């Protein structure tokens, strides 16, 4: 029993914690530091996922203190480093390793959105702290000067040169703060958690050797699929109300309510974007769609996604497609025989 626990919990958790800390300190792979924790959670079980987090948390504390002593870094910087790692890693572990039975009460998508909202609060605080430092302002100013020098040397016209002269570090910083407060932090956290979760699940399935109750195929069969994801119908009223109120409070220049409403609006947009992707995926996985057509669609989607201007239309169209399902049942399966039961993945990423 002890050898089995060591094999399925302690050893993989210890390895995952080490890889997590390596990624977090590497610089190149720092955006993937959550992936090892997710791989252990999906490949093994709830206990292994949280054990890996505890190992990573303890290791990060030791490394941070050691680096602070060697490099004589102020204690405040270490506290923020520890806070960021601890909060983001614990949130992601909760997303990928919910307590047994909890995943049926709060779906995986809702855990991801709740965790992203919590992470966005911390992310905003860290950004504003960094933006207030003289070093950040100096770096931003040097970066802007380098860009302006490049455009001046390329022979820009008089109007463009006048516009470039109006760009200052203070103006860019104010713009960045405005974006971060009005949904930028939330989008960043959603992107980080979602990409980390999907990569974790993919790697866990790739290293899966056999079916058992603790494998990803048994616990989260529908995680990688958005085809059954649905937004609650009442969300449309939240979306409509926040959109209208954003316009009204902007007209009367109430900044704090505007910031809150913008984040509510972005939250709704992300949910409808996920629903729109689910609709596209629902039609792509139909048997009548050949592998060639699927590949052609994916290639076309990637090309449009990286086409300036067109990508905005594409993303907006996916959001509108998700909104349209409030009135048009776009994912009604054809019943040519006895009714089929929903996939097990509905409990994880189904209607909220």
CA angle 24, 46, 84 (to 5 degrees): 30
Q: Mean pLDDT for the chain? A: 81
Tell me, yes or no, whether 168 lies in a domain.
Answer: no
Tell me, yes or no, whether 155 lies in a domain.
Answer: no
Tell me, yes or no, whether 160 lies in a domain.
Answer: no
With beta carbons less than 8 A apart as the criterion, state whether 96 and 88 touch: no
Q: Which run of H or of E encompasses 238? A: helix 235-251
pLDDT of residue 344: 35
Q: Band the pLDDT of 246: cuts 50, 70, 90.
A: very high
> Are residues 278 and 307 both part of a single domain?
yes
Q: Where is the domain boundary, 202, 221, 240?
A: 221
> Are residues 2 and 33 both part of a single domain?
yes
Residues 6+ apart with CB under 8 A from 276: 317, 318, 319, 320, 321, 322, 323
CA angle 134, 137, 138 (to 5 degrees): 85
Q: Tens digits of per-residue pLDDT, 96-122?
A: 988 876 655 677 778 898 999 999 999
Q: How far apart are alpha carbons 317 and 44 in whole angstroms?
A: 38
Q: Band the pLDDT of 164: cuts 50, 70, 90.
A: low
Least confident of 100-104, 172-176, 308-312: 100-104
Q: Band the pLDDT of 66: cuts 50, 70, 90.
A: confident
> Are residues 104 and 216 both part of a single domain?
yes
Q: In angstroms, how far is CA 240 from the centroid of its own chain?
A: 24
Closest CA to 220 of 88, 97, 111: 97
Q: Tens digits of per-residue pLDDT, 119-157?
A: 999 999 988 888 887 777 777 778 777 766 766 665 555
> Are residues 189 and 296 both part of a single domain?
no
Q: In angstroms, how far is CA 168 from the centroid of its own chain?
A: 31
Q: Band the pLDDT of 71: cuts 50, 70, 90.
A: confident
> Are residues 251 and 123 both part of a single domain?
no
- Does the pTM surpass 0.85? The reply is no
Tell me, yes or no, whether 158 lies in a domain.
Answer: no
Tell me, yes or no, whether 280 lies in a domain.
Answer: yes
């Amino acid at each position: 029993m002890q050898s089995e626990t060591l094999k399925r919990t302690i050893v993989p958790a210890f390895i995952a914690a080490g890889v997590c800390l390596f990624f977090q300190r590497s610089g190149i792979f720092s955006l993937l530091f959550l992936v090892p924790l997710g791989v252990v959670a999906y490949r093994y079980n709830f206990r292994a996922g949280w054990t890996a987090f505890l190992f990573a948390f303890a290791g990060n504390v030791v490394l941070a203190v050691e680096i602070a002593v060697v490099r004589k870094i102020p204690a405040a910087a270490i506290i923020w480093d520890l806070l960021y790692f601890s909060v983001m890693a614990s949130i992601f572990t909760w997303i990928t390793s919910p307590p047994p039975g909890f995943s049926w009460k709060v779906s995986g998508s809702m855990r991801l959105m709740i965790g992203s909202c919590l992470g966005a609060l911390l992310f905003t605080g860290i950004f504003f702290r960094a933006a207030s430092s003289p070093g950040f302002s100096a770096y931003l100013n040097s970066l802007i000067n380098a860009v302006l020098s490049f455009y001046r040397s390329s022979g820009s016209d008089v109007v463009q040169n006048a516009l470039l002269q109006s760009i200052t570090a203070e103006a860019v910083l104010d713009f960045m703060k405005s974006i971060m407060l009005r949904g930028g932090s939330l989008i960043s956290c959603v992107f980080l958690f979602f990409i980390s979760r999907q990569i974790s699940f993919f790697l866990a399935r790739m290293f899966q050797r056999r079916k058992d109750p603790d494998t990803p195929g048994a616990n989260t069969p529908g995680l990688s699929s958005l085809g059954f994801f649905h937004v609650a119908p009442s969300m449309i009223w939240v979306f409509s109300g926040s959109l209208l109120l954003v316009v009204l409070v902007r007209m009367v220049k109430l900044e704090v309510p505007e910031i809150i409403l913008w984040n509510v609006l972005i939250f709704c947009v992300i949910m409808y974007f996920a629903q729109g992707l689910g609709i596209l995926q629902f039609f792509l996985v139909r048997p009548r769609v050949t592998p060639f057509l699927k590949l052609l669609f994916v290639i076309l989607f990637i090309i449009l996604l990286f086409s300036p201007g067109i990508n905005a239309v594409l993303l907006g169209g996916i959001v509108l497609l998700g909104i349209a399902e409030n009135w048009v049942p776009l994912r009604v399966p054809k019943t040519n025989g006895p009714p089929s039961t929903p996939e097990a993945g509905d409990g994880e990423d189904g209607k909220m």
